Amino acid sequence: MNFISGMLQDLLNILFSFTGDLGVAIVVITLMVKLILMPLSLKQKFAMRKQQDLAEKMNDIKEKYKNNAKEMEKHLQKHSMETMKSMMGCSTILLQMPIVCALYQTFLNMPNTSPSVLIPWISSLNVSDNLFIIPCIYTLTMLAPNLISMVPYFRTSSQVMFNKQMIMSTVIMGFLLTARTPVAIGLYFITSSLYTLVEDICFRIYVKNKNNLSVN
């Protein structure tokens, strides 16, 4: 972990020397790391998508053979192996954690810094935002992926996992994560969330177009 953190710190210093703005350097290095991890992220998305499809198929099987337990068991066992394989694909997120944690640690251990043009109301990136603008922005970016699932065009599943409890937990978690942490961490979280949102929208469009082509 320390090795990765040291590499990221060196890269951050190089980017800062080019941009002259540590806030911009944080955004750039966050996007670079997200792009490097994109193959793992997409693999995870496809695995989760397959999980959703299998869950819908198994629900259909239960409904179709609700009066025939033997046939139901036969078909459910057939799909159980596929479910296990797709769950292994979802575990790719664990491979991303060391790099993400090292990046977080790099920003957390930054020395005193000058203000950034991206956040002009803050005097230093290693202090918290007393105006709570950063926490509010991050909370909105966290909610966005859940909100776009409500838009029919971007919906990739007939089941929309969205409720009031999810909204409240997302709002509280997002606000608490950035309310008293250095602004540099908040900037990292916001950049990461916006990238994830764009990636998710592109993935949904890809899945929708692929489904349309298979139907046609």
The answer on pLDDT for 44 being more than 60 is: yes
pTM of the model: 0.77
DSSP one-letter code for 157: S
Write out the residue range of the structural domain in which residue 175 sits. 2-215
Please say whether the beta carbons of 22 and 113 come within 8 A. Answer: yes
Q: Answer with the residue of higher pLDDT: 76 or 176.
A: 176
Q: Which residue has the tokens 């991050």?
A: 138
Number of domains into which the chain is organized: 1
Q: 116 - beta bridge partners?
A: 119
pLDDT in tens, 106-149: 777 777 677 889 998 988 888 889 889 999 999 888 888 777 77
Please say whether the beta carbons of 149 and 48 come within 8 A. Answer: no
Q: Tell me the backbone φ, ψ of residue 84, rounded to 5 degrees.
A: -65, -40
With cut-offs at 50, 70 and 90, classify the pLDDT of residue 162: low
Determine how many CB atoms are found less than 10 A away from the CB of residue 61: 18
Q: Which residue has the tokens 């090292």?
A: 102
In angstroms, the CA 212 to CA 202 distance is 15
Please say whether the beta carbons of 133 and 121 come within 8 A. Answer: yes
In angstroms, the CA 77 to CA 58 distance is 10
The answer on pLDDT for 216 being more than 70 is: no
